[in-house]
Amino acid sequence: MDPTATAPHAPARMTQELWDVLSRYRWRIAAALAFLILAKLAAVAVPLLLKRIIDAFSQPAPLAAIPLYLLAGYAVVRFIATMFNELRDLLFARVTLDTVSAYARRVFAHLLALDAGFHARRQIGALMPEIERGTNGIAFLLGVGIFTIIPTLVEISLVLGIMVSRYSIWFAVIIALTFMTYAGFTLMFAARRVMYQRRVNKLDSVAKSHLADSLINYDTIKYFANEAVESQRFAAMMRHWMDAGQGNQRALFALHIGQSAIIALGVAFIMLLAGDAVWRGRISVGDLVLVNAYALQLCLPLNALGFVYREARDARVNTERLFELLRERPAIADEPGLAQQQPGPGEVTFDHVDFHYDAARPILRDVSFRIPPGRTVAVVGKSGSGKSTLARLLLRFYDPDGGAIAIDGQDIATVRPSSVRGGVGVVPQETVLFNDTIGYNIAYGRIGASHDEIVAAARAAHIDQLIDSLPEKYDTPVGERGVKLSGGEKQRIAIARVILKNPRILVFDEATSALDADSEQAIQQELERLSANRTTLVIAHRLSSIVAAYQILVMDRGSIVERGTHTELLRRKGLYARLWLLQQRMARDDTDQMIPTPG
């Protein structure tokens, strides 16, 4: 989908969705509108009082007394206009803040609910500015948009009514013509600016996506000393953004100049007409001041109206992506109406499973196997053979294209994904931790766990001694993605939180392949302890770690080509035996290189 495109009925749908949220605050909106109207009535009354003051002081005869009531009334009315505006803002602030907060929460929950396929397609760096611009756009449309357009129309109507009732019809005609010309010009030019704004937004998202991706891959950039290359790429993106922004600004310049010229002409005609009326004695100097004040008073809201309309168009463009995001539907939804995965011993069955991410590239072909309750089944094979996909299917990140996956005889495609995942514990190849404390990351295995339970899980994972040696112990920050900890330490935290979760089914997805030999041996012992009496699927790279498995599946190009115990597979002298001999030879070579040669 073109990110700059939107459905023709999108604005109406956006308006309806916003109103659905706003409808909870009808009384606040009504009260805010009442204060708005009162503020505008007071603002329109100010020039009327000023006219009377000037006329009183312009009398040829000496004043019998200074018109204190007019002077005081002038000050009071100006204060009342400001007070009503502030009361309006105070009342409506809760509406705006709650609506923006509601959309932010809704988008966050929606992103977490979307399927793995969506997140594989999208870049986090591009999503963040789209969400920020969208929520800011909603805030603008609700606040400044509503409370500038409505009061401007109210003020223009009041001024036109006063002009028609007190002065020549030509004053009202000039004001009306100025307003219509201004509105027509603004509508035409603002519509032309939309394409510029969409391009600026798209390029801004691309640049921020690259920025986030570069920071995530900071180590890789340093490894290859490519700081200059990345800076040049980012600079090129920013140049494109600047060019689009310059085009947007040129369109804005033409819009502003045109709007100012229309207002200037309107004020000039009004003042010429008023000056001529004073010279002919038809109106007083106070009337001239009144007409001038109203002309200037209309200029400000007209300018504000143009600004708001322009910004409202931009805000609508900014919110388009947010509403499109909310309309994304997950391929695998956690619908409340679906059945729950029922507790059981934990038998796992793959029955003639086929799967592909891309139709042109099948990943799994007719895969069938069974993991009896409390047993361990290991899966080995070359890279790209489909091993890790088995885990993603078991966790229902994706549904198979053919066949079925069952837990305790219950097809997981018919139950809520969250209930499936609630019974499965995963120790991945690379553990990514939250940028929080060690205690928080362990407790993530079971939200609400007590401190004693967290300590017990850490002790079971044999990481308690390390934690106790740290100055802040369980309150020690781990850094973004856990960068302050070693690979082995992160894996032990992953084991601790799985222990805390206490699932009936375990998945070890190459959980030790990224570790050194000493760490691998230590972690392997913890994994074996953890998997005792639990149904376990082990996706392994190092075959030495799965020799005791109940059954070993050997995969090649998405199919199971061999199955059996370690001993049975070695006897067959097939692919598994060749992989075993290769790894044993490599291990011997590594050992020989570590033995010092006598000097």
pLDDT per residue as tens digits for the range 129-163: 777 777 777 777 776 656 666 666 777 777 777 77
- 3-state percent helix, strand, coil for the chain, nearest multiple of 5: 65, 10, 25
Please tell me the predicted confidence (pLDDT) of residue 306.
Answer: 63
Helical packing angle, 10-22 and 68-113, nearest 10°: 110
232 and 378 housed in the same domain:
no
234 and 129 housed in the same domain:
yes
Tokens representing 189 are 């030019």
Residue burial 251-271, b: 16+ Cβ < 10 Å; e: rest: bbeebeebbeebbeebbebbe
Which residue range is the domain that position 475 belongs to?
429-502
Does residue 43 lie within any of the structural domains?
A: yes
70 and 120 housed in the same domain:
yes
419 and 453 housed in the same domain:
no
Q: pLDDT at residue 120 above 50?
A: yes
Please tell me the predicted confidence (pLDDT) of residue 13.
Answer: 64
223 and 367 housed in the same domain:
no
167 and 259 housed in the same domain:
yes
215 and 344 housed in the same domain:
no
Look up the CATH number of the domain holding residue 383. 3.40.50.300
Tokens representing 245 are 């922004």
User: Which of 30-44, 72-86, 282-296, 433-447 shows the lowest mean pLDDT across its residues?
Assistant: 282-296
> In whole angstroms, what is the distance from residue 550 CA to residue 35 CA?
76
Residue burial 483-500, b: 16+ Cβ < 10 Å; e: rest: eebebbbbbbbbbbbbbb
Q: Which among 265, 294, 326 is the end of a domain? A: 326
Does residue 356 lie within any of the structural domains?
A: yes
534 and 573 housed in the same domain:
yes
Please tell me the predicted confidence (pLDDT) of residue 380.
Answer: 87
Q: Which among 478, 502, 526 is the end of a domain? A: 502
Please tell me the predicted confidence (pLDDT) of residue 275.
Answer: 79
Please tell me the predicted confidence (pLDDT) of residue 57.
Answer: 65
| Interval 277-291 mean pLDDT | 73
224 and 353 housed in the same domain:
no
What does DSSP say about strands 551-556 and 559-564: parallel, antiparallel, or unpaired?
A: antiparallel
| SS3 (DSSP) at 372 | coil
Instruction: Give me the helices (H) in 285-416, please.
Output: 285-326, 387-394
Q: Which among 281, 298, 326 is the end of a domain? A: 326
Please tell me the predicted confidence (pLDDT) of residue 254.
Answer: 79
Does residue 2 lie within any of the structural domains?
A: no
User: What's the whole-model pTM score?
Assistant: 0.64
Please tell me the predicted confidence (pLDDT) of residue 7.
Answer: 43
Does residue 382 lie within any of the structural domains?
A: yes
Please tell me the predicted confidence (pLDDT) of residue 443.
Answer: 87
| Interval 263-288 mean pLDDT | 76
Does residue 59 lie within any of the structural domains?
A: yes
Over residues 514-527, the pLDDT tens digits come to 555 666 666 777 77
Tokens representing 91 are 């009342």
Best CA proximity match to 373, nearest among 390, 348, 396? 348
> In whole angstroms, what is the distance from residue 519 CA to residue 273 CA?
91
| CB proximity list for 416: less than 8 A, separation 6 or greater | 334, 335, 336, 338, 339, 340, 341
Does residue 18 lie within any of the structural domains?
A: yes
Distances (CA, A) of 156 to 153, 172, 196, 480: 5, 10, 31, 55
Give the chain's count of helices (H) and strands (E): 19, 10
134 and 44 housed in the same domain:
yes
pLDDT band at 10 (very low <50, low <70, confident <90, very high): low
495 and 363 housed in the same domain:
no
Q: pLDDT at residue 15 above 70?
A: no
Tokens representing 393 are 């299917």
Tokens representing 131 are 């969400």
Does residue 5 lie within any of the structural domains?
A: no
314 and 450 housed in the same domain:
no
Task: Report which of residues 94 and 571 the model is more confident about.
Answer: 571
Most confident among 18-27, 80-89, 112-121 (mean pLDDT): 80-89
Look up the CATH number of the domain holding residue 292. 1.20.1560.10
| Straight-line distance from the first to the last Cα atom of the chain, in angstroms, rounded to the nearest whole number | 68
Instruction: Give me the helices (H) in 114-226, please.
Output: 116-121, 124-140, 146-166, 169-216, 218-223
Does residue 1 lie within any of the structural domains?
A: no
Q: If residue 28 lies in a helix (H) or strand (E), which one and from where to where?
A: helix 26-57
**Count: domains in the chain:** 3
